[in-house]
Amino acid sequence: MEYKILGEPMPVVECYLSAGESMKTEKGSMVWMSPNMDMETNTGGGIGKMFGKMVSGESMFQNVYTSAKIPGYIAFGSSFTGSIMAIEISPGHSVICQKSSFLASEMGVELSVFFKKKLSASVFGGEGFIMQKMSGSGTVFIEIDGSAVTKTLEAGESIIIDTGNLVMMEDSCTMDIVQVKGLKNMVFGGEGVFNTVITGPGDIILQTVTVGSFAQALIPYLPTK
C-alpha cells in the first residue's frame, strides 16, 4: 500500500492498493474510490471485541475495502479541520490513541480497547479513561484536530495535558489522571477539574484544539431563538 495525504484544512489520505489488497475503517469515512473497490461490512471480531467497542463508544462494525482483480485507490477523509498522520505499527511497537482518532488502517493492524486501570482515572478520566490500543503490523492513519505537535519524553520525564488534547502515546509511556489543585482553581479556572499526566520514555502526539472546545467557543455566537 502506498498513500498520499492531500488537502488542507480538511485533509484526506488517498491510498493506492494492489489487486486483492484491503483496508479497514470504522467511521464510514470513505470520500472517493476507484470502481473496482469492493466493500464488506463486518464486526471486526468476536463478541468480546463487539462489547469492547460498545463500551468505548465506537461503532461495533467496520467497513473493509478490497481492490478487486486490478490495482485501485480509495480516499479516507477527516471529520474535522486538522491533519492526518500515518503511524507504522510493528510487533513490539504498539500505540495508545484517543478513541475518536482512528481513521483507517491496513488489515494487519489490530484495534482493542485500552482501559486506564487506576480508580481515579477510571472514574474521572474522561477521554483519558477509555482509549484505543493499536498493535499488530501495518500502517494506521489517525486524524488530529487542529495541528499536530509531537514530543519525545525521556525516561521519567512527564508532561501535564488538558484532557482531550492527547491524541497518541507509545505504549512505553504511562498515563495518570491528577486533580487540579485548589477549589477556586477548579471552580473558576475554566480548565476543568482533572488533567492527564504522561510519563516517558516514548513519543506522544498532541492536538492543538478539540472538537468540544471548538463547539464551546461557538456557543455565545449561536442564535438563541
Q: For residue 9, is the peptide bond before it cis, meaning its omega torsion is within 30 degrees of 0? A: yes
The string of pLDDT tens digits covering residues 66-116 is 999 999 999 999 988 999 999 999 999 999 998 889 999 999 999 988 876
Q: Please compute the mean of the pLDDT values over residues 204-211 and round it to a whole number.
A: 92
Q: For residue 201, is the peptide bond before it cis, meaning its omega torsion is within 30 degrees of 0? A: yes
Confidence at residue 215, expressed as pLDDT on a 0 to 100 scale = 83
The string of pLDDT tens digits covering residues 18-69 is 999 999 998 789 999 999 999 999 876 655 555 555 555 556 789 999 999 9
- Evaluate if residue 141 carries a pLDDT over 70: yes
163 vs 150 pLDDT, higher one: 150
Confidence at residue 122, expressed as pLDDT on a 0 to 100 scale = 46
pLDDT, mean over the chain:
84
pLDDT class of 210 with cuts at 50, 70, 90: confident
Domain positions in the chain: 2-210
The answer for residues whose C-beta is within 8 angstroms of residue 186's C-beta and 6 or more apart is 179, 180, 192, 193
CATH architecture assignment, domain 2-210: 4-Layer Sandwich (3.60)
Confidence at residue 59, expressed as pLDDT on a 0 to 100 scale = 62
